[in-house]
């Protein structure tokens, strides 16, 4: 319907605002920190972990905090999200600084741990952004930008790892990718900071240089060998 279209356009606008905030923070030396509980926390950590190999950035540039600590990534800690003070403390223990961006992730937008983290982020001068599937969530008054894709009722009632989790994953992909594009880590649609850390990636790096220069794979490999396998140097 027309109203659904307007809702989707609004979400795109909010994603664009969030990407601009993240890229601007990174250009000033800031970091992107995802915070969530359960599925939402795991999705944040996954997106953070994939940024260094994809974009060749430092592991500290994008990071993730999950309620219950690192062990909650592999085994559910069901009550970890229930304490707002733990969320505030996690921000301090992680060393979040003014100028960083903290993205809180919660399907319903009411997990106390995440709310506490967002409140603490604002207190210390970091930029709080919310990702939820509830447009009327508690994130809205706490965040500079709230992104709230509508997914409707879950296939299995209450199982927010399904539709809500999938939507959140898509949004996180757009936030990190959009920011990295603005930071110059992508040329056209190619990963020009890609690190050749295994055989597959070595071949992909050669293909990227060959595509950009219009030369053969052999000449592209020679360029890379002469430039320490740094794509941007090899294509100069």
Annotated catalytic sites, by residue?
A: 50, 81
- On whether the CB atoms of residues 139 and 121 are closer than 8 A, the answer is no
Contact 192, 232 (CB under 8 A): yes
Question: Are 102 and 121 in contact, with CB atoms under 8 Å apart?
Answer: yes
Report how far residue 179's alpha carbon sits from residue 16's, in angstroms, rounded to the nearest whole number: 10
Report the C-alpha gap between 201 and 235 in whole angstroms.
Answer: 17
The CA distance from 195 to 200, in Å, is: 11
- Helices 84-94 and 112-124: angle between axes, nearest 10 degrees: 50
Separation between Cα atoms, residue 102 and residue 167, nearest integer Å: 19
Contact 67, 86 (CB under 8 A): yes
What tokens were used for 160?
A: 């927010």
- Match 């850390």 to its residue by tokens: 197
């Amino acid at each position: 319907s027309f109203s659904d279209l307007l809702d989707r356009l609004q979400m795109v606008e909010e994603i664009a605002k969030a990407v601009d905030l993240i890229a601007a923070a990174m250009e000033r030396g800031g970091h992107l920190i995802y915070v969530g509980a359960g599925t939402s926390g795991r999705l944040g950590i996954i997106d953070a972990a994939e940024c260094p190999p994809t974009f060749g950035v430092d592991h500290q540039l994008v990071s993730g905090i999950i309620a219950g600590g690192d062990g909650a990534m592999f085994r559910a800690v069901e009550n970890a999200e229930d304490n707002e003070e733990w969320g505030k403390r996690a921000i301090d223990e992680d060393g979040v600084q003014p100028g960083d961006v903290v993205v809180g992730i919660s399907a319903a937008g009411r997990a106390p741990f995440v709310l506490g983290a967002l409140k603490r982020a604002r207190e210390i001068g970091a930029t709080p952004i919310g990702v939820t599937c509830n447009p009327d969530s508690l994130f809205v008054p706490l965040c500079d930008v709230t992104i709230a894709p509508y997914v409707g009722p879950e296939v299995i009632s209450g199982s927010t790892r399904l539709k809500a989790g999938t939507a959140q994953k898509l949004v996180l992909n757009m936030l990190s990718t959009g920011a990295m594009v603005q930071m110059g880590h992508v040329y056209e649609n190619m990963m020009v900071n890609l690190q050749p850390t295994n055989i597959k990636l070595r071949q992909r790096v050669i293909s990227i240089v060959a595509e950009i220069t219009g030369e053969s794979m052999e000449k592209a490999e020679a360029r890379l060998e002469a430039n320490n396998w740094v794509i941007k140097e090899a294509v100069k």
